[in-house]
Amino acid sequence: MSLRVASLAVLVAFLLPSFEASAQQNVPPAPAAAAQPSAPSAVPVFPVPDPANFTAASPTKEMVNSFLQTSWGYDDTRMWQVEAVLKTPVEGISKVLVYVGDKSGKQKPSAIQFFALPDGKHIIAGEEILPFGDHPYADYRQQVQQRADGPYRGNAAKEFEIVEFADFECPHCKEAQANMDKLAVEFPKARIVYQNYPLPQHKQAAGAAAYGVCVAKQGGSTAFFTYSAAVFDGQDGLSTPDGATLTLNSAVTKAGLDPAKISACAALPGTVAEVDASVKLAKDLNINQTPTLVVNGRQVPANAPYDTIKQIVEFQEKLDGLSQ
């Protein structure tokens, strides 16, 4: 069986689901992948691993399998096999090779590789440094619990958090709002937080974010989500400065607040600093596109198919011992 080594897009699937969702990137997009041959129709059969290919002491095969189960276990159709864990010329860095397939036979089998770092908590996949281990999302979860301070729906407790990083001028973020509304209904015990992540290429997004911070301060979370729904609905108005002013003031009015007071608040250095702090949190979490959800530390595209998002949220609940 011929197996190709996967591209960066597949390697990053350790953190993201096995589907593509449109997103607004904060970095230049990767080159388009070459077209692949027709998918096989039978369940793939992987080669028997050669014990001679397990020359590194760490990570063990069991550790890699545990990591992959945590990352991919929500998908019952995915299958994999750890083929090699090899020493490299650099002390403490191991090269890991994994075969990945689909039980339905609809996807062409692939070989992916990554490098495990000596700390046991990170891997290098392509140009990305990604979390690794039995609990790869724990550090990100802790950062979110400590620093995600945006308006929220649902539970006040932070035991189970779904944090949305979004940009008011991003069309894919607008599309994702239907998913966010469904999550709020189906997961009432979750704390669903909105965090500003205005991207630099969107000239009116930072101002819309600052307005949102002030709406939340003066009117609370309920007023904020009324404001945010109105801004997303009128997103086309953000294409020019004058249009943005009209759109934002209209959204503030719908939220029951005074546009003049919100405008004055949005111009304050402290408000700008709050938006900047939210952007820094996104970057510290290695988020480079909007809309992105962080589900107890696990990153998921917020505009992915809702059924897939729900499947991942339920799986993460179970991993964290929170499901009923």
Q: Give me the domains of the chain, ranges plus CATH numbers.
A: 4-136 (no CATH), 139-319 (3.40.30.10)
Answer whether residue 60 shows pLDDT above 70: yes
Check if the beta carbon of residue 211 is closer than 8 Å to that of residue 262: yes
- Give tens-digit pLDDT for 72-126: 999 999 999 999 999 999 999 999 999 999 988 777 888 999 999 999 999 999 8
Q: In whole angstroms, give the CA distance from residue 103 to residue 45.
A: 10
Q: Is the pTM of this model over 0.95?
A: no
Strands 191-196 and 161-166, sheet pairing? parallel
Predicted local confidence at residue 128, as pLDDT: 86
Q: In whole angstroms, give the CA distance from residue 57 to residue 159.
A: 35
C-alpha separations of 282 from 44, 65, 151, 172, 176 in Å: 38, 28, 16, 17, 18
Predicted local confidence at residue 277, as pLDDT: 98
Mean pLDDT of 291-310: 95
Predicted local confidence at residue 26, as pLDDT: 54
Q: Which residues contact 236 (CB under 8 A, 6 or more apart)?
A: 243
| From 126-135, 228-237, 302-311, the region with the lowest mean pLDDT | 126-135
What are 273-282's contacts with CB under 8 Å, separation 24+?
274/213, 275/196, 275/198, 275/206, 275/209, 275/210, 275/213, 277/147, 278/150, 278/195, 278/196, 278/197, 278/209, 279/196, 279/197, 279/198, 281/143, 281/144, 281/147, 281/148, 281/195, 282/165, 282/195, 282/197
Taking all residues of the chain, what is their mean pLDDT, rounded to a whole number?
A: 89
Mean pLDDT of 229-241: 97
Predicted local confidence at residue 324, as pLDDT: 56
Check if the beta carbon of residue 99 is closer than 8 Å to that of residue 90: no
Choice between 45 and 87, residue whose per-residue pLDDT is larger = 87
Per-residue pLDDT band for 145 (boundaries 50, 70, 90) equals very high
Q: In whole angstroms, give the CA distance from residue 46 to residue 318.
A: 29
Strands 78-87 and 94-102, sheet pairing? antiparallel
| From 26-30, 45-49, 91-95, 282-286, the region with the lowest mean pLDDT | 26-30
